[in-house]
Amino acid sequence: MSSASAWDAYYAGVEHPFCTATATALTSRTDRLPPGRAIDLGCGLGRHARHLAESGWSVQAVDFSRVAIEIATAADGPDVTYLVGDVTRWRPAEPADLILVSFLHPRAEELFALLGAARTWLAPGGHLLYLGHAHHVAVDGDGPHGDFPDLADLARACEGMRIDEMAHIVRPHIDTTTVDVLLHARSWCSQNTALSPAGADFGALSREPSRAASPAHPRMRVTCAGRSSSSNR
């Protein structure tokens, strides 16, 4: 993940359409959920936080770019609370009904630790939605092969949660076709969810033994050009 100063310079430049348009892969799922308290980690210019607030959610949105937060705050109303903070160190004061992580790409071990910690921030039955680049970003193999997760990595990071959906999302992007990974997981309604204490070892949390068995047949999908196929594995 680039430095905060690098992202400050990026957001201070020209308009960035990819940072303001919402991702349908996320909004089509959040729109089916009853509004509650949501957290948007790595919110950027607030595209998804704004959509959630317009849908009735009370939203707390965090990003380490001060410039991004200033732009987002100026554009939104009181239903979104924007905070400048490093999401790998930040933690909420109370549980959330939805935690959203969209195209946030720290080092793989930091991402897995963050997802492992985020699951402890959910209220019983709360949802965790992650969308980001796949390990092989471009379908034709010419794109960057960064330190991005695959579906198996994401499933391990959310050990102990109910996995509702894991999918590869294939979509056009400028002059190529890219592959994203989507994870939709939720805490068990009977789970006694507790916020991680200040200074908690997020790496240890991500390796914590499962408290509840994952479902034997999570829903797995591949979505391509507006059509999708589903299978139970």
> Does residue 121 register a pLDDT over 50?
yes
What pLDDT score was predicted for residue 224?
43
Half-sphere exposure of 84 (CA within 13 A, CB side): 12
Taking the C-alpha atoms of residue 196 and residue 141, their distance in angstroms, rounded to an integer, is 39
Per-residue pLDDT reduced to its tens digit, 96-111: 999 999 988 778 888 8
> Does residue 210 register a pLDDT over 80?
no
Domain residue ranges in the chain: 4-232
Taking the C-alpha atoms of residue 99 and residue 210, their distance in angstroms, rounded to an integer, is 20
What six digits make up the tokens of 170? 């294939």
Give the amino acid at 122: L
Contact 126, 193 (CB under 8 A): yes
What pLDDT score was predicted for residue 205?
39
Taking the C-alpha atoms of residue 203 and residue 177, their distance in angstroms, rounded to an integer, is 33
- Give the three-class secondary structure for 224: strand
Rounded mean pLDDT of the chain? 76
With CA atoms as reference, report the closest residue to 183 among 96, 114, 124, 85: 114
What six digits make up the tokens of 208? 């914590």
Taking the C-alpha atoms of residue 60 and residue 213, their distance in angstroms, rounded to an integer, is 30
Half-sphere exposure of 228 (CA within 13 A, CB side): 14
Contact 51, 27 (CB under 8 A): yes
Taking the C-alpha atoms of residue 81 and residue 69, their distance in angstroms, rounded to an integer, is 10
Pairing of strands 219-224, 227-232: antiparallel
Instruction: Give the H/E segment covering residue 113.
Output: helix 108-118
Taking the C-alpha atoms of residue 162 and residue 160, their distance in angstroms, rounded to an integer, is 7
Per-residue pLDDT reduced to its tens digit, 140-183: 545 445 567 778 888 888 888 999 999 888 876 666 677 888 99
Q: Whole-prediction pTM value?
A: 0.73
What pLDDT score was predicted for residue 135?
64
Taking the C-alpha atoms of residue 203 and residue 10, their distance in angstroms, rounded to an integer, is 30
Q: 82 has which bridge partners?
A: 61
Could you please state the CATH topology (level 3) that the domain comprising 4-232 is classified under. Rossmann fold (3.40.50)
Q: What is the DSSP letter of 86?
A: -
Per the model's pLDDT, the better-predicted residue between 207 and 132 turns out to be 132
What six digits make up the tokens of 190? 């009977």
Per-residue pLDDT reduced to its tens digit, 27-50: 999 999 999 999 999 999 999 999
Taking the C-alpha atoms of residue 226 and residue 191, their distance in angstroms, rounded to an integer, is 36
Least confident of 19-33, 51-65, 184-198, 217-231: 217-231
Residue 129 dihedral angles phi and psi, to the nearest 5°: -120, 125
